[in-house]
Amino acid sequence: MRRLLLALPFALLPLAVAHAADEHDHDHEHGSLGAHEHGVGRLNAVLEAQTLELELESPAMNLVGFEHTATTDADKAKVAAVRAQLEKPVALFSLAKAAGCEVASQKLESPLFGDKPEADDDHDEDAKDEHHHDHSEIHAHYSFTCATPGALKTLDLANIFNTFPATQKIQVQLIGPSGQQGVEVTAKAAALKF
């Protein structure tokens, strides 16, 4: 499975480069391909044999409604509620029951969950702290073992849009039995075929 995930950056290049060209005028102070854009999430999905890997990245603003460290009880409750929703990926991603997918592993990371921000090579030490303070991300990585992967006909993200209404679109890179595709999905068109 590792080698498939290693192949993902290459799969992402055409979309990322095209996206960077579109975003160049709006977001040129960041200079990175993975522009932090409120309302926009990213999902990598790989289905190989009986293993389904899903990797969701989103600005915290899309999921919890803020990006600062939770200090008030209300903010802490909101972060805990979002984390609980992210810990139920079979429901969140509407995986077909017939596929018999079970979570083999899951990992949630975010400064909001008390994780240290990852090192950012583009910035020096002072700017790094400031950059991450302004732009908290939430990363969720799931690995499923599916008894009947052929039953996974579509990946339906409607529940993500319903659960997190501040998410307006998700840029999806999907590698499955029918090949590789890069699609931007919205709440009105939230499903794509494997």
**Nearby residues of 78 by Cβ (< 8 Å), 6 or more positions away:** 64, 65, 66, 70
Q: Is 123 exposed, middle or buried (0-12, 13-18, 19+ CB in 10 A)?
A: middle
CA–CA dist 148, 101 (Å, integer): 8
Whole-model pTM above 0.85?
no
pLDDT in tens, the chain (194 residues): 444 554 444 444 444 434 443 433 333 333 334 567 899 999 999 999 999 999 999 999 999 999 999 999 999 999 999 999 999 999 999 999 999 999 999 999 999 998 765 554 444 444 444 344 457 999 999 999 999 999 999 999 999 999 999 999 999 999 999 899 999 999 999 999 98
Is the CB of residue 31 less than 8 Å from the CB of residue 122? Answer: yes
